[in-house]
Chains A and B, each alone.
Chain A
Amino acid sequence: GDSVTQMEGPVTLSEEAFLTINCTYTATGYPSLFWYVQYPGEGLQLLLKATKADDKGSNKGFEATYRKETTSFHLEKGSVQVSDSAVYFCALIGQGGSEKLVFGKGTKLTVNP
């Protein structure tokens, strides 16, 4: 079945550092790919998405590019802030959109001032 693998955390960075959180997936066809973020004490929020190969999703300074050839959707941000401290989840929905969200285990990011 479909699956998502993302890098184990936790990740600790200093403010203004560069962030990469790796995500790879296994799925048939062309799934839609997502990054969700969970801030402390809150539910998950959609951060960005990409629905076809080579699409780049972006939001709040975060970016991720749908790479079909490497089945990857790595999350990046050029300069993190303390307010970016959260748990980040990579997820996919199978081709056709009738499948349900499949999540990775999540990566906890802590940004220190």
Chain B
Amino acid sequence: ETGVTQTPRHLVMGMTNKKSLKCEQHLGHNAMYWYKQSAKKPLELMFVYSLEERVENNSVPSRFSPECPNSSHLFLHLHTLQPEDSALYLCASSQDGTVSYNEQFFGPGTRLTVL
């Protein structure tokens, strides 16, 4: 595998379910991100991890819980979601601190539908 991979690619869940999204980067990066992409809205940054520490949380509801066990893996745990949480969830990674801008590399996303 190369680049940034995400599983599953599609997920349908009820509002009472608990599920997790997985992201893995094979680029040797030290920062990882979760974004939410909804129709007709800009990409929304949800969480940022740098060196496995959460450095930013843009006021995301607690029903979304991230986990970064190491620099290559990032999870997004989901529970008691709402239909408006249906969206494409994108993971990205970058190498912070070594260049003047942290170019981000994106995974293909998980298309989430909440019934």
Q: Could you list which residues of chain A lie within 8 angstroms of chain B, going by C-beta atoms?
A: 4, 32, 34, 36, 41-46, 49, 51, 89, 93, 96-97, 100-101, 103-106
Contacts and interface: CB of A to CB of B under 8 A. Distances in A.
A104 B6 CA distance: 23
Contacts of B105: 46
Contacts of A34: 103
28 contacts: A4-B42, A32-B100, A32-B101, A34-B103, A36-B106, A42-B108, A42-B109, A43-B6, A43-B90, A43-B92, A43-B106, A43-B107, A43-B108, A43-B109, A46-B104, A49-B101, A49-B103, A51-B100, A51-B101, A89-B43, A93-B101, A97-B99, A100-B45, A100-B56, A101-B43, A101-B104, A105-B40, A106-B42
Kindly name the residue among B99, B101, B104 whose own CB sees the greatest number of chain A CB atoms within 10 A: B101
B100 to A, nearest CB: 4
A45 B48 contact: no
A32 to B, nearest CB: 4
Nearest to A31: B101
Q: How large is the interface on B (under 10, 10 to 19, 20 to 34, 35 or more residues)?
A: 20 to 34
Interface of B: 4, 6, 33, 40-43, 45, 48, 56, 90, 92, 99-109
A109 to B, nearest CB: 16
A104 B90 contact: no
Contacts of A96: 100
Nearest to B88: A43
Given A43-B90, A51-B101, A104 B42 contact: yes
A45 B106 contact: yes
Nearest to A89: B43
Nearest to B55: A100
A10 to B, nearest CB: 11
A42 B33 CA distance: 17
Given A32-B100, A32-B101, A103 B108 contact: no
A38 to B, nearest CB: 8
A43 B40 contact: no
